[in-house]
Amino acid sequence: MDGKEFTVSEVIDRAGISAHTWVVFVILAFAMIFDGYDFMIVNSTNLFVASTFWPDNPNPGALMGSLTTWGLLGMVLGGAVGGIMSDKIGRKKMLIIAVIFYGLFTLPQAFSPTYEFFCAFRLIAGFGVGSCIPVVTTVFSESIPSKQRGVFITCGMAFMIVGWVLAGLIANAICSNPNAAIPGLTEQVTYLTTNATTKEVTEATMYANWRICYLIGALPIVYGIILIFSMKETAHWYANNGQKEKACERLHEMVAATRHVDVTFDPNLLIIPPKPSKTGPATLFSSKFIIATCAVWATYFVGQFCVYGMNAWIPTWFKGIGYSPSDAVMLQTWNNVAAIASNISVGFISDKVGRKRNLAFSWLLCILAIILCSLFVTPGNMGICIALMLLFGFSLNYAITAVQPIMPESYPTAIRNTGTSWCQAFARFGGSGSSIVLGAIAGLAMFSNADGGTNWSLVVLVLIVPFALGFICTLLFVKETAGKTMDQLAEEEERLGNSDSDGNTRFIIMLIVVLFNFIGCIVLPLAIPGFSKTDYALPIMAIAMLLPFLYFFIFGGAQLAKNKAKTA
């Protein structure tokens, strides 16, 4: 160097896109493919898993929705703990642990003798899945030049959707096999099913070939071993943890990969932005970060609720109006195919028009898409249904992916992965509860057809409420971060002079809100038989889902008013 002081962000921005950038991209892309497969395989096989565990129940309802819930709850725990560990032990170590962990504990699910056994290992495997996603997002944000950061984060997330699509294609091919794929493992099952037209309950048989899908889910064990030798720690993490020499070595490797010159960096000239006085999750609720936390927690919660809730029930929706289980899973897969296109495009648009404007537009697009789906999804018209699933999958995944770049850009290095992972962990309460909530709503009398079946065209209109809340929270809380370096974003927060150590009370209140959400949307529907048929079910679930937004409006709004008073 020329003897001038420098920051990690400045060097990365000057180096630009290089061979190093693409190596990071490929490594993280494969991590997301495996991660996406592991999550979506339960949604793509739930019709077949339900027939195995409840052969005498043609309509398991909330119980079938809970197959998705247990993995998401594991992801909540994994995200909460994994984020803190990543900030402590490093991005590389945490990603390797997470990938091997969920591969190892997905394997026993293939041999599940009971619902309880299956759910226990979904819960444990979800711990690793939940730790993986925020680490990937954080590594992208710490490795990519500022101008291209949004594109790489969202394109990287597109590979998670590739995993979703692969899960659907693999599940459809394997589960539809009329013969036993592995005799002795994939046993024959006789189960009750309801005819979508006549509503007559009849017997049918199948082989439990869904078990093969979970054998495939163990492949991340091998990839985790590959990561040990192929992945490297980020310069941001090294610098923030006092390892300036290693940070400079990483910067040297990045520059050499771009310019093919031997440039050295003096560790004594490396400037490290000031760290928060505290680095635990309560810091996210301090005066300095509460607005950013309200922004990403609210919008990602909406996205998770709608994405995971609908993915859990799309096969049931289409099966209920007359499509075969195979066609129903295929329509779900088309929904996820469109998600790949949205994830690729959202980053380019976000870097061009800005994070806030892009996200606000996406919620409006979601409202339009869900109204069209409600009006025009019909039995016996596969072409229209495919087109509507492409539209819905594109718009909804566009919205949730538009939040992804904002998460790591909202927090400094010392708490970046804690902030990202706790946001994702909280949002997964929306996802884990939504599959049960939508299943319970589908059982309410007001959402029934004249013949007693579920009117899914009305059920999906419920999603307009969270979409509208996402739009409002975007306008209120999201700050524009596109094109700014991590150092610039940290400096903007410092200039406001807010405390980073006064978040304990707000954090405790949020934990109480989360507990109420958990009880109202998960515990009660599963613990009380026929909960959705009671008069108090809908009010309890509605309050539990809306209470977090009341929290955001109160505490985020109060801090917004204080910040405006300071800058007036």
Which H or E element spans position 563? helix 557-567
At residue 229, the pLDDT reads 92
| Residue 254 domain flag | no
Give dist(CA 456, CA 443) in Å, integer.
10
Residue with tokens 């046993």: 187
Q: Work out the average pLDDT over 169-182.
A: 88
Where does the pLDDT of residue 486 fall: very low under 50, low under 70, confident under 90, or very high at 90 and above? confident
| Residue 556 domain flag | yes
Where does the pLDDT of residue 30 fall: very low under 50, low under 70, confident under 90, or very high at 90 and above? very high
Where does the pLDDT of residue 568 fall: very low under 50, low under 70, confident under 90, or very high at 90 and above? low
Which residues are CB-contacts of 251 (< 8 A; sequence separation ≥ 6)?
Answer: 8, 11, 12, 235, 265
Question: What mean pLDDT is reported for the chain?
Answer: 85
Where does the pLDDT of residue 278 fall: very low under 50, low under 70, confident under 90, or very high at 90 and above? confident
Side chain identity at residue 262, one-letter code = D
CATH number at residue 437: 1.20.1250.20
CB–CB of 38/106 below 8 Å?
yes
| Residue 267 domain flag | no
CA 119 from chain center: how many Å? 19
Q: Work out the average pLDDT over 192-198.
A: 70
Question: How many residues in total does the chain contain?
Answer: 568
At residue 197, the pLDDT reads 64
Q: What is the tens place of the pLDDT at every residue in 153-167? A: 888 878 888 898 899
3-state DSSP assignment of residue 204? strand
Q: Work out the average pLDDT over 277-301.
A: 90
Tokens for 190, please give them. Answer: 């006789």
Q: Work out the average pLDDT over 288-304.
A: 93
At residue 3, the pLDDT reads 67
Give dist(CA 568, CA 566) in Å, integer.
6
CB–CB of 402/362 below 8 Å?
yes
Residue with tokens 């919008």: 299
CB–CB of 122/71 below 8 Å?
yes
Calculate Rg over the CA atoms of the chain: 24
| Residue 6 domain flag | no
Domains contained in the chain, number: 1
| Residue 533 domain flag | yes
CB–CB of 80/421 below 8 Å?
yes
Residue with tokens 């819960």: 123
Which H or E element spans position 61? none
3-state DSSP assignment of residue 201? strand
At residue 471, the pLDDT reads 96
For residue 185, pLDDT over 70 is answered with yes
The b-or-e profile of 510-533 (16+ CB within 10 A means b, else e) is: beebbeebbebbbebbbeeeebbe
| Residue 241 domain flag | no
| End-to-end C-alpha distance for the chain, whole angstroms | 41
Reference 24, options 198, 111, 145; nearest CA is 145
| Residue 567 domain flag | no
Residue 524 Cα distances to 436, 438, 502, 548, angstroms = 10, 14, 34, 18
| Residue 211 domain flag | yes
Q: Work out the average pLDDT over 317-338.
A: 80
What are the residues facing 6 on neighbouring strands? 270
CA angle 383, 385, 391 (to 5 degrees): 110
For residue 506, pLDDT over 80 is answered with yes
Lowest-confidence range among 196-210, 380-394, 537-551?
Answer: 196-210
> Which own/partner contact pairs does 232-237 have at CB distance under 8 Å and 24+ positions apart?
232/92, 233/90, 233/91, 233/92, 234/91, 234/139, 234/142, 234/143, 235/8, 235/11, 235/12, 235/142, 236/8, 236/9, 236/142, 236/413, 236/416, 236/486, 237/90, 237/91, 237/142, 237/413
Where does the pLDDT of residue 558 fall: very low under 50, low under 70, confident under 90, or very high at 90 and above? very high
For residue 198, pLDDT over 70 is answered with no
Q: Which domain holds residue 122?
A: 19-233+280-562
Show the beta-strand stretches assigned E in 359-480.
Answer: none
Which residues are CB-contacts of 222 (< 8 A; sequence separation ≥ 6)?
Answer: 103
For residue 223, pLDDT over 70 is answered with yes
Q: What is the tens place of the pLDDT at every residue in 243-263? A: 999 989 988 888 887 666 667
For residue 296, pLDDT over 60 is answered with yes
For residue 510, pLDDT over 90 is answered with yes
Q: What is the pTM of this model?
A: 0.76
Reference 165, options 54, 275, 329, 303; nearest CA is 329
Q: Is 384 or 529 the better-scoring residue by pLDDT? A: 384
Which H or E element spans position 207? strand 201-207
Where does the pLDDT of residue 284 fall: very low under 50, low under 70, confident under 90, or very high at 90 and above? very high
